[in-house]
Amino acid sequence: MAGASGDCTASRARGQPGLVHRKHGGPFTGTERCLADIFSSEALGWIVHVKGVREVAPNLYVCSPLVMPPFGSLIRRQINRHILLPAIARTARRLGMRNVLVWTYLPTDSAVELVKLFRNSLGASIYHCLADFSALSAQLSDQVFTNCSRLSERLCQWNDNVSIFPPGVDLAAFPPDGPLEQPVRSGDSVRFDSSEHAAQSGPVIGYVGGLHRHVDFDLLAEMADARPNWSWVLIGPFQTSVEKLRGKDNVLLLGPKPHEQLVLYVRSFDVCLVPYVKSVYTETVVPAKLNEYLAVGKPVVATDLPTIREFNDRHNVLITTENRADKFLQAIEDALRLPNDSETIKRRRQVAALCDWNLQLIAMSDLIEQKLSEKGPSGC
């Protein structure tokens, strides 16, 4: 990985491992999520198919082979070991890859085998740990990246080279100024202008992100019932049942939107939410949406998860609260009373800028280059 953020990019196909050739000097591999669906016996022939390598930019290649779901039966692991891994190795040889940099996010059994396959004295392996998964990848890795201090403390038991990088934000994609107007429904003539809407029916309270099992739907439903004159706008894919919110006149479930349009909706929000449940999983979650909200200069009310409290202890720019309707509503009302002047917006954006992806990638690149230089001048 080179020392500037523009020098290295990876095409990430959800659910599939990827093989990527870096722009300057040599290649690296990046392993993404394995397929979540359970293959039927009739689909086994599909497993052996490997898509051709695609050159997505000059000297940047992506290979997305199919893979059996992780942590399954012995036969699944054997299929991955004897079909998937050799296919990746052949692709690496065709691309002239020698000392490979393997970067894995999810420590599946296949990812661990991939690290072992390419492990040598001049290559390197990076484990980017975003949740409390297996320690094995940390033990095998030359460098570990993680998103919060809690995970860092755990990972330091197995690896001395652990660095914290919270989720980044593309500041250019979330500017605070621009038009407020945005359609609320596809094909609907209604326009969603926050200033007009607030004058008619109260403030607009918004959420952007996956509607998954870690979102507190009971909390949202109770608050929507308690404040019928507020508009509750939720944008993101439905990853679990949202029936508790359907049918409420003041709740808009808009589904997923193109990433480049998200800023238009966030600008229309008076307060942005992170209404997560408290669980073992969310103890180490650092929502990327925090910095996206702040980049637009919006006030944020969030469940007081450990990672969010830690973030706020450093920056004092959020309102955190228990996930009880009365407490959350009071926090939202407090947020509505906060100043919305240019200095306040600037301060929020300055906090988000600390996690600018450009800066994060440069810092990560420097650490990786250091590891490669320690292994020898011909590394990667």
Three-state SS sequence of 252-283? EEEECCCHHHHHHHHHHCCEEEECECCCCHHH
Matching fold, domains 5-168+356-375 and 171-353: yes
Locate all alpha helices (DSSP H) within 37-108, ordered by sequence. 44-47, 74-79, 85-94
User: What pLDDT, on the 0 to 100 scale, is given for residue 43?
Assistant: 37
User: What pLDDT, on the 0 to 100 scale, is given for residue 134?
Assistant: 61
Give me the tens of pLDDT residue by residue for the chain, a chain 380 residues long.
Answer: 332 222 222 333 333 333 344 433 443 333 333 332 333 333 333 333 445 688 889 888 888 777 777 667 778 778 888 888 888 888 888 888 888 888 888 777 888 888 888 877 688 889 998 877 766 678 888 999 999 998 999 899 999 999 999 999 999 999 998 754 444 433 333 345 444 444 346 899 999 999 999 999 999 999 999 999 999 999 999 999 999 999 999 999 999 999 999 999 999 999 999 999 999 889 999 999 999 999 999 999 999 999 999 999 999 999 999 999 999 999 999 999 999 999 999 999 999 999 999 999 999 999 999 988 888 765 44
- Give kind and range of the element (H or E) at residue 349: helix 342-353
User: What pLDDT, on the 0 to 100 scale, is given for residue 313?
Assistant: 94
User: What pLDDT, on the 0 to 100 scale, is given for residue 88?
Assistant: 85
Burial of 366: CB neighbours in 10 Å, binned 0-12, 13-18, 19+: exposed
User: What pLDDT, on the 0 to 100 scale, is given for residue 66?
Assistant: 75
- As a whole number of angstroms, the distance between CA 146 and CA 132 comes to 10
Where exactly are the structural domains of the chain? 5-168+356-375, 171-353
Look at the domain 5-168+356-375 and name its fold.
Answer: Rossmann fold (3.40.50)
Supply the CATH classification number for the domain 171-353: 3.40.50.2000
